[in-house]
Amino acid sequence: MKKIRAWLKLLSVKNIGLVKSIRLVETLGEPDSFLGNMERLEQVDFLSQQEKIDLSSEISYPEWDKIEILINKFDIKFISILDDLYPPLLKTIFHPPPFLFYRGNLRKDDFRRTISIVGTRKPSNYGKLQSKKIASNLARSGFTIISGLAYGVDTLAHQAALESGGRTIAILATGCEQIYPPQNKILSEKILKNGAIITEYLPGVKVERWHFPTRNRIISGLSLGTLVIEGSKKSGALLTAKFATDQNRDIFALPGDITRPQAEGPNYLIKIGGNIISSANDIKDFYNIISDENEQMTFFPELSKEEDKIYQILLQNKPEIDFDNLLIKASISIGELSSNLLILELKNLIKRLPGNKISPLF
């Protein structure tokens, strides 16, 4: 509670803002270690004297008591951008959320092989069938299915992942003690048993229309790629795809009947360069995962701390990075880097390219 309260206090300080707050914690650590401590704040050269005075003074956060009650009542958990469990891919987006609230169970491995599946709230029978088939196949292949718990394609993707024994994560546009739409309450309870519900919004925050676009940037930001199954060109699914493009993520689209309004969005994405797919195997082939409809659940291979560090750097520099730049970013010796790259190659996670370049496979 002390940690959560300190973050809320930090973000409530006048003229500090999100960008400066994240820069502050990257410099000084968690907010509870420097708020109210002028001696530590004096070490920072990008704050004005008035800002240091404001940060060192007694700060209260309105409605903290209500937030604390909701956290306890609904067993809400909290991770900040400094925590090891914070999704590595999400850190790389423009203006990443400084913290996340969640319910359920999160594991670091949940974020190693992720795909978001989004689409219309009113899918055709074709869209319903493909949503189920593709999500089920990808979940059996070890992908964590990311979506927004909305009606239609989102709901079908979550359900298919759960029915396949896979993992799924729902991203909300409200506080995570609330379920929107409320008709998905039973589905949300199933997700909590084999996944998580995540939000950047504080407990108690109600649904607002403008929350959904900002929520969509998290759906795409958590994912290696985003698959759009039906939706108009002005739909939330297409906005998620736009975020994915801006975040240097992969775009997949299921083609549809050109006479159907639901097919307008994915067909447009294909026209402008999105990856056309006809089954989950196309996505698995894209990420060099063996395609087999009858395969057993496969998981992302276990990585050592050093291997994981290098792999995250590769993901953040997709599609490729040369050896020398990777060496600088990893801050290790040539021998250590070469050894770890060999192990990652044997685990089928990277490939070597001409010009001494390396690319992550997924």
In sequence order, what DSSP letters do the residues of 159-197 get, joined into one string?
Answer: HHHHHTT--EEEE-SS-TTS-SSGGGHHHHHHHHHSEEE
Does any domain span residue 91? no
| Residue 260, domain CATH | 3.40.50.450
pLDDT digit string (tens) for 141-161? 999 999 999 999 999 999 999
Letter for the amino acid at 185? K
What is the span of the domain harbouring residue 32?
Answer: 2-62
Do 265 and 135 reside in the same domain of the chain?
A: yes
Do 276 and 322 reside in the same domain of the chain?
A: no
Letter for the amino acid at 174? T
**Stronger pLDDT, 354 or 301, i.e. the higher one:** 354
Predicted local distance difference test score (pLDDT) of residue 304 = 85
Do 191 and 324 reside in the same domain of the chain?
A: no
229: which strand partners? 119
Res. 185 pLDDT band, cuts 50 70 90: very high
Predicted local distance difference test score (pLDDT) of residue 268 = 95
Does any domain span residue 227? yes
Do 270 and 349 reside in the same domain of the chain?
A: no
**Above 60 in pLDDT, residue 89?**
yes
Predicted local distance difference test score (pLDDT) of residue 211 = 94
| Domain finish residue from 222, 251, 286 | 286
Tokens representing residue 287 in the block: 């990420």
Do 327 and 237 reside in the same domain of the chain?
A: no
Does any domain span residue 74? no
Does any domain span residue 161? yes
Does any domain span residue 90? no
Res. 298 pLDDT band, cuts 50 70 90: low
Do 131 and 275 reside in the same domain of the chain?
A: yes
262-280: average pLDDT? 95
Quote the CA–CA distance of 101 and 197 in Å, as a whole number.
Answer: 8
Does any domain span residue 278? yes
Do 327 and 211 reside in the same domain of the chain?
A: no
Do 38 and 118 reside in the same domain of the chain?
A: no
Does any domain span residue 73? no
Residue 227: its H or E element = strand 225-229
Do 57 and 184 reside in the same domain of the chain?
A: no
**Stronger pLDDT, 8 or 317, i.e. the higher one:** 8
Do 336 and 204 reside in the same domain of the chain?
A: no
Does any domain span residue 97? no
pLDDT digit string (tens) for 20-31? 899 999 999 999
Number of domains present in the structure of the chain: 3
Do 319 and 173 reside in the same domain of the chain?
A: no
Do 34 and 176 reside in the same domain of the chain?
A: no
Res. 291 pLDDT band, cuts 50 70 90: low
User: Any alpha helices (H) in the chain, and if so which ranges?
Assistant: 2-12, 17-28, 38-41, 49-56, 64-73, 88-91, 125-140, 153-163, 185-193, 211-221, 236-246, 264-271, 280-286, 305-316, 323-330, 334-346
228-243: average pLDDT? 94
